[in-house]
Amino acid sequence: MSTSELKTMIEKYFDNELEKKYEPLLFAELSSNAEARNFFKEMNLLKHSIQQTEEEFPIDLEEKILYSVKLENDKKHSIPIIKNVPAMISYALTVIFLTMTIIFFTETKELKGNLKETINKVKEQEETIELLFNRYKEIEITSNKNNGG
């Protein structure tokens, strides 16, 4: 059996996942493979050191953790803009300026349309006046010296 397969069996053994029928095979292979035996000793040492340092999990610690998580969730649901008044004011002013810009833009478009209409009317009137001037023949005005005299 290869060393990597033995290491996998050792890991399963310490995780209590190795079936009981394979345990004699594992120990037989450990007696002949020095590298796997050293790995087994390291894992055993690790397991015992963890068991020695393991303490009882305090119940109040769990409550504190859950309470802090709840507080964090509550903070995420609150509106952060309310806490920052200058930012809120600047946002409001931005909305007002954007609204005014849109209003002025539409008003300018309307005035531009009205100006074009007025220019067209003036051109039509100019053409009409020109036609009227060209329609009549030139009139000469002469004066008589004998009138009234």
Q: Rounded CA gap, 81 and 89, in Å?
A: 10
Which range has the top average pLDDT, 56-60, 66-70, 85-89, 101-105? 101-105
pLDDT grade for 85, boundaries at 50, 70 and 90: confident
Which tokens belong to 111? 């005035």
Give pTM, 2 decimals.
0.38
Q: 60, 66 in Cβ contact below 8 A?
A: no
- Kindly state whether residue 50 falls inside one of the protein's structural domains: yes
- Confidence tier at 79 by pLDDT (50, 70, 90): low
Note whether residue 71 is domain-resident.
yes
Tell me which DSSP letter residue 137 carries.
P
Does 138 fall in a domain? no
- Reported as a single tens digit per residue, the pLDDT across 13-55 is 888 888 888 888 888 888 888 898 899 999 999 888 887 776 6
Determine, yes or no, domain membership for 63. Answer: yes
pLDDT-based confidence at 131, cuts 50/70/90? confident
**How many domains does the chain contain in total?**
1
CB 64 within 8 A of CB 31: no
- Asked if residue 118 belongs to a domain, the reply is no
Domain assignment of residue 121, yes or no: no
Asked whether the beta carbons of 81 and 87 are under 8 A apart, the reply is yes
Query: Does 106 map to a domain?
Result: no
Q: Cα–Cα distances in Å, from 14 out to 3, 8, 11, 42, 52? A: 16, 10, 5, 11, 16
Please report the pLDDT score of residue 139 as a whole number.
Answer: 67
Domain span at residue 65 reads 3-77
Evaluate whether residue 64 is within a structural domain: yes
